[in-house]
Each structure stands twice: as structure tokens, then as C-alpha cells.
Amino acid sequence: MLRAVDAVDNLRDDLNDTEDGGPPQLRVDLLKLHQLAMAVFNEGSRSQVAVLFEFAVELENQVLSMMGSLEQVQETLSQLTELYPERLSWADMDDAD
């Protein structure tokens, strides 16, 4: 369970709002990527092609890392829910309260 908590902590840096109340850096970076893509594909800015794809690879790696953290959380939860005895039902648990 604590590994799942650690995995969520890893995501906080990527998904939390900034200290000054601004949006998460990932959102800012995705909008920057969008601007680069518009310049390259819509405006024909060849000088930005390398920057666009290098930045896209950087963001892809960041998101893959985030997905790894989420997979750790999911695996932990799956291991726990697999322990749920079938003979119990949520209704029976509500009656016990």
C-alpha cells in the first residue's frame, strides 16, 4: 500500500498546480507543444521541426513515467481486491454497521 502512496507522490509534481496558483506544468507544456505543432504544420515553420519533435519525445517520456506510477497504484489495488472473499457481499457489510 505504501508503494502506491509513493507512486501518487511521484505524480504530484507533474499534476499539482504551481505554488502561485498556476496550472500544472504538464498542461503548460502540452499547450506549448500545440503552439509548436501549429507553427510547423499550419505555418510551415521548418526551423521549429526539431524543437517540436524533441519536446514531444520529452513529454512522451514524462507521461510514460506517470503511467508507470499509475500502474503501480492499480497493481496494488488489484492485489488488495483479489483478497475480497466472495462469500461476503457489500450488503452484508452494511448490515454489520
Per-residue pLDDT, 55: 98
Rounded (5°) CA angle 11-12-15: 85
Span of 20-29, 33-42, 49-58 with lowest mean pLDDT: 20-29
Compute the average pLDDT of residues 61-87.
93
Task: State the pTM of this model.
Answer: 0.76
Q: If pLDDT is split at 50, 70 and 90, which confidence band does 91 have?
A: low
Residue scoring higher pLDDT (45 or 17): 45
- Check pLDDT > 60 for residue 96: no
Residue 42 grid cell: 499550419
Rounded CA separation 20/88 (Å): 48
